[in-house]
Chain A
Amino acid sequence: MRVAVVGFGQTPFRTKRKDKTHPELAFEAINVALEHAGLDMKDIEAVAYGSMDPFDGIYCPERWDATACGLEKPVMKISTGGTTGMTTALAAYEHVASGLFDVAMAVCVQRVGECVDAQPVLNTAVDPIYERHSGLGAIHVAAFQATAYMAKYGATEEDLAWVSVKDHKNALKNPCAHIRMDISVEDVLNSRVVCSPLKLLECCPRSDGAAAVIFASEDVAKKVRDNPAWVVGETTISDSYYLGDRPDFADWDSLAIAGRRLFRTAGVENPVKDIDVAELYSPFTIQEILELEALGFAEKGKGKDFAKEGITFPDGEMPTNPSGGVLCTNPIGATGLVRFGEAALQVMGEAENQVDGVEVALSHAWGGTLQFHTLALLSSRKKLR
């Protein structure tokens, strides 16, 4: 069963969206998605909903937000750390791919801005017996990757800073992006050190907002739009729960395995040639570099040069995060769905910061202190090969 994305909606993301409650944000994103698809709420047959409860201090936010998803529809809640948004997309996709439904919607809402600080919440995701005492959040584990990568491959602070400069320039073109400012390499290097070697301008903000993606079966997709984004591949993977069990912090092996699995099933032979744009989950500069290498876009040790050399800019050979990425907008449980939606817009030719001639886009999310990855490939073609 071929399945396509036929609609995407997102709210503007801000530190606080005090103007709206949780379901009002869902309502806003859903209506943008419905309008984009040219569908009505009655056309949506099932809903996959994603959020990470403790960031918002609301247990079962799916109860509150189901009111915006149309009562009486089947609703399935998904929560898998930072991959939540992407796995919610895959859950909705699989509703349609299974043949059980013709139209399904993924909805994600997150209000990290309402939490005093995301790191104590992230700390409760770390093993409570052996690891939690060490004061670990997400920034710390990204800093582990940066330290290991810089030692192994000789990357400089400036190499990492270029990733931030690129993402911030891209976010300027995206009205929904949270942090929108033009910054230089010097600005990044002069910003305060948060978790060494990572500095403030190498770290994502905490964002409030929502996103929705509508999936349709082939027959419906062809009827509702002439430029659907076909889902041509998807996979997820899990690594160990224990941080100390990661094989090597300088290389993201679990993502490399997931990438090879995705490319094999989708028929990608050469990622750089076959994939035109990537929306990667990189809330910290170093992670885009590791992801580019794990996914085969860059050779090991060469990803550090990509932003500096312009390769990942929208007019480069491997445009990465033209939306401004997670570095500029991070409503954590909705972030993966934004990657997925932005990748779909690129394939449709409708992105705010559109890359020329996109036929194939990759979407990625990681979650759970480097434990999970979710990947999807979207294309204007129904099949790559």
Chain B
Amino acid sequence: MDVTEFEVWWKIPFRHSAGIHATRFFEGLKEKKILGVKCEKCGRVLVPPRAFCERCHAETGEWVEVKDEGIVETMTVTYMKFTGLPDPPYAVGVVKLDGADTGMLCFLGGVDLSDWRRVHEAFKPGTRVKAVWREEREGKITDIEYFKPLD
């Protein structure tokens, strides 16, 4: 017997507040500045910035500008199409920027993504990378198009 199936959609718009810290971070991106905040208790510079340090349960304090260069902690290239996610191939990595104590999730680019082994060689953990900024910046995380190998 063919069992009846119903198609159901969840397509519900929301508007998430970014809060004051992320808003200031996004404003900085327009000026090609990457801002973090310092936890006065543990001294870590958190990038992207947030209102409290979850390790210390303490409000963060001083704003710090970090460099738009850093090192790759890890990465992956996606070759399968997932519903609603970017079209493959796309490379994503965690980059620790100079002056920051946390990694930032970002796209990696500037190299041919067709052979994953070569991409892993280009961005192996420890590789220095630099941000490639969009010409037209609108104060969004995607104002940084991707990070490319520094050399």
Contacts and interface: CB of A to CB of B under 8 A. Distances in A.
Contacts of A130: 22, 48, 104-105, 141
Contacts of A137: 82, 85
Contacts of A195: 76-80
A82 to B, nearest CB: 18
Counting chain A residues whose Cβ lies within 8 A of the other chain, the interface size class is 35 or more
Contact of A120 (B3, B77, B84, B141): B84
Interface string B1-28: 0010100101000001011001000000
A131 B105 contact: yes
Q: Which of the listed residues B55, B84, B93 has the most CB atoms from chain A within 10 Å of its own CB? A: B84
A144 B10 contact: no
B119 A196 contact: yes
B69 to A, nearest CB: 16
Interface in A168-226: 192-198
A192 B77 CA distance: 13
A215 to B, nearest CB: 33
Contact of B106 (A116, A117, A134, A249): A134
Nearest to B85: A135
Given A194-B80, A196-B79, A148 B74 contact: yes
B99 interface: no
Contacts of A143: 76
Given A57-B10, A129-B16, A130-B141, A117 B94 contact: no
Nearest to A245: B102
A123 B105 CA distance: 13
Interface of B: 3, 5, 8, 10, 16, 18-19, 22, 46-48, 50, 54-55, 73-80, 82-86, 90, 92-94, 96, 102-107, 116-117, 119-120, 124-126, 141-142
B115 to A, nearest CB: 10
A123 B86 CA distance: 11
Interface of A: 18-19, 54, 57, 116-117, 119-120, 123, 128-131, 133-137, 139-140, 143-148, 151-152, 192-198, 240-246, 249
Contacts of B22: 129-130
Contacts of B74: 144-145, 147-148, 151, 249
Contact of A152 (B102, B104, B107, B125): B125
Contacts, number: 123
Identify the 4 closest CB pairs spanning chains A and B, nearest first: A143-B76, A244-B103, A196-B116, A120-B84
Contact of A242 (B80, B102, B107, B120): B102
A160 to B, nearest CB: 14
Contact of A244 (B55, B83, B94): B94
Nearest to A116: B83
A3 B77 CA distance: 46
Contacts of B73: 148, 249
Contacts of B85: 119-120, 123, 135, 137
Given A195-B79, A249-B73, A54 B10 contact: yes
A165 B3 CA distance: 35
A151 B93 CA distance: 14
B101 to A, nearest CB: 9
A39 B18 CA distance: 51
Contacts of A131: 105
Contacts of B50: 242
A127 to B, nearest CB: 8
A60 to B, nearest CB: 14
B105 A192 contact: no
A19 B92 contact: no
Given A144-B76, A147-B74, A240 B86 contact: no
